[in-house]
Amino acid sequence: MRPGLPQRIRTIFIVQALLASLVLVGGYALSLLAWQDHGAAIHEQLQQEAAHYWKLHEASPAQPPPDTYGIRGYLLQPGQPDLSLPGELRALSNGFHELESTGQRVLVDERAAGRLYLVAAPAPRGDATFWRGVVPLLLTLLGIYAISWLAWRASQRSVTPLSWLLQRVSQWDPRYPDADELAPERLPAEIQGEARQLAAALHLLAKRIGQYVTRERNFTRDASHELRTPLTVIRMASDMALGTPDLDPRLQRSLGRIQRAGRDMEAVVEAFLILAREVDVEPQAEWFEVADIVRYEVASAREVLDERPVSLEIKVIDDIPLLAPPRVTHVVISNLLRNACTYTDRGRIRVEVGNGKVVVSDTGIGMSPEALAKVFEPFFRAEPGRQQGSGLGLPIVRRLCERFGWRIELESTAGQGTTATVHFR
C-alpha cells in the first residue's frame, strides 16, 4: 500500500537532512585531503626559499637568512659552533624534518658555504584542529537536523487537516454519503483556509449526491409501481377478451400481441426495479430452464419479423437450469432478439442454447469496429435512420448481466451480421 502524504513528507525531510550531512562530511574529508597536500606544499616552498637564498648568498655573502611571517632561517657557517641555533635544531641532519614538540617543518640544506636551517610556521595542533574543524562541523549538522525537524513539524500541522478530511471521506458509504459530518459547524478548529474550503465543497457535493440518489430511487420505485396497475388491467382485459367464443382470428392475433406486450412490459418494469435496488439486496429468484424462455421469446420475435424474408431458427443443445428472476432473463433474450430482427432485412436469425450460454446470430447489416466499440453506450444505434429501437436495449442488457454475474460478448462484421453471446456460467 502506498504511504500517505505525512509519511512521504517525513521521508523527504529525512532524505534532505541525510544528503546535507553527506555533503558536509564530504567537504570536511576534502579539507583533510587538502591539509595533507598543504604539507607537501610547505616542503616545496622551503626548497624554493633555500634555492633563492643561496643565489642571494652567492651574490652577497653578507645576505642574512630569511626571516618572514611564515619562515625563519638560520645559517651555520663552516667551523662556526651550533650554539647560535635553537636546541631542537642542533641534532638535525640534512633534509626535511618535523619537530615533535611544535609540529614545525624544518629543511636543513648543507652546502659548501654553510648549513642553512629553514623553519616553517607551526602546523595547527590536534586540539586546534578539533575546535576549528570538527566542532563547527558537528554544530552545523545539529543545526541542519534541528531545522529539518522544525520544518517537518510545520508541514505536519499543515497536512493534518487534509489527513482528517481524507479519513472522514474514505469512511463514507458511496450509497449514503454522510454530508452532515463535514458541515461547517462540525469541523474542528484547526481546519482553516483551503482545507475548510475543500471541506465545504465536499459537504455540498455529498448533499447533492444524496439528493440525486434519493430522487432516482423514488422515481424508479414510484414509476414502476404506477406502471404495474395499468399493465395488470391490460393483461386481465386481454385474457378476458381472448376467452370470448367465436373470436375473429385477426382480432385474436391482435389480442395475443397485446397480451405478450403487456407481459414484456411487466418484465421490463421488474428489471428496472432490480437495477434500482442496492447491490446487496438480493431480488427474488427461482429455478427455471433458459430454453423455455428462449422458445417464448422466439415465438414473439416471429411476429415482429412479420412477412420479411428472414428465417428464425432455434437449436437447443442442452438445457441450462438457472437460479435468477425469470423476467430478467426475458428482458435479456428479448432485447437481443429484437435487435437481430430490427437490423436483419433478409437472411437468417439463429438462436442456440447450450453449454451454459445462449448465442443469437444474424445475417443483418452488422457493425464496423468503431460502432461495435460504442454499442453499449445509451442511445447509440448502429443505423440511426431506422425507426425501430431507441438505443437503450443493449446498455440495459449489459447492466442486467453485470448485476447477476453473467457475461455478454458481441462480434460483428459490417455487411455480414452480428453474433451476441450471453454466458450464464
CATH number at residue 223: 1.10.287
Which structural domain range is residue 308 located in? 282-423
Asked whether the predicted pLDDT for residue 12 surpasses 50, the reply is yes
Asked whether the predicted pLDDT for residue 76 surpasses 70, the reply is yes
- pTM for the full predicted model: 0.50
Give 376-422 pLDDT, tens digit per residue: 887 676 666 555 554 457 888 888 888 888 999 999 998 899 999 99
Q: Are residues 270 and 290 in the same domain?
A: no
Q: What is the predicted pLDDT for the residue at 314?
A: 93
Asked whether the predicted pLDDT for residue 117 surpasses 80, the reply is yes
Residue 100 lies in a domain: no
Helical segments of 81-193, H only: 126-129, 135-170
Nearest to 321 by CA among 424, 423, 397: 424
Q: Are residues 414 and 380 in the same domain?
A: yes
Strand arrangement of the beta sheet that strand 114-120 belongs to? 71-76, 114-120, 105-111, 95-98
- Taking phi over 0 as left and psi of -120 to 50 as alpha, with beta for the rest, 409 belongs to beta
The secondary structure element, H or E, covering residue 71 is: strand 71-76
Q: What is the predicted pLDDT for the residue at 288?
A: 93
Last residue of a domain, one of 250, 277, 304: 277
Strand arrangement of the beta sheet that strand 357-362 belongs to? 310-316, 347-354, 357-362, 417-423, 407-413
- Kindly indicate the confidence band of residue 290, based on its pLDDT and cuts at 50, 70 and 90: very high
Mean pLDDT of 280-295: 83
Q: What is the predicted pLDDT for the residue at 169?
A: 77
Q: 318: domain CATH number? A: 3.30.565.10
Residue 31 lies in a domain: no
Average pLDDT for the chain: 79
Residue 286, CA atoms < 13 Å, CB-side half-sphere: 3
Q: Are residues 295 and 404 in the same domain?
A: yes
Q: Are residues 305 and 329 in the same domain?
A: yes
CB 220 within 8 A of CB 272: yes
Residue 25 lies in a domain: no
CB 361 within 8 A of CB 418: yes
d(C-alpha 31, C-alpha 150), whole Å: 30
Last residue of a domain, one of 242, 277, 312: 277
For residue 190, give the C-alpha cell.
484547526
Residue 245 lies in a domain: yes
DSSP 308: S
Give 78-91 pLDDT, tens digit per residue: 888 888 888 888 88
Residue 352 lies in a domain: yes
Q: Are residues 299 and 396 in the same domain?
A: yes
Domain count, the chain: 2
Residue 144 lies in a domain: no
E strands, 141-296, are: 286-289
Q: Are residues 296 and 406 in the same domain?
A: yes
Give 220-272 pLDDT, tens digit per residue: 767 766 777 777 788 788 888 877 887 888 888 788 778 777 777 777 777 77
Give 19-63 pLDDT, tens digit per residue: 777 777 766 666 555 555 556 778 888 889 899 988 988 888 888
Last residue of a domain, one of 219, 249, 277: 277
Burial class (CB in 10 A: 0-12, 13-18, 19+), 341: buried
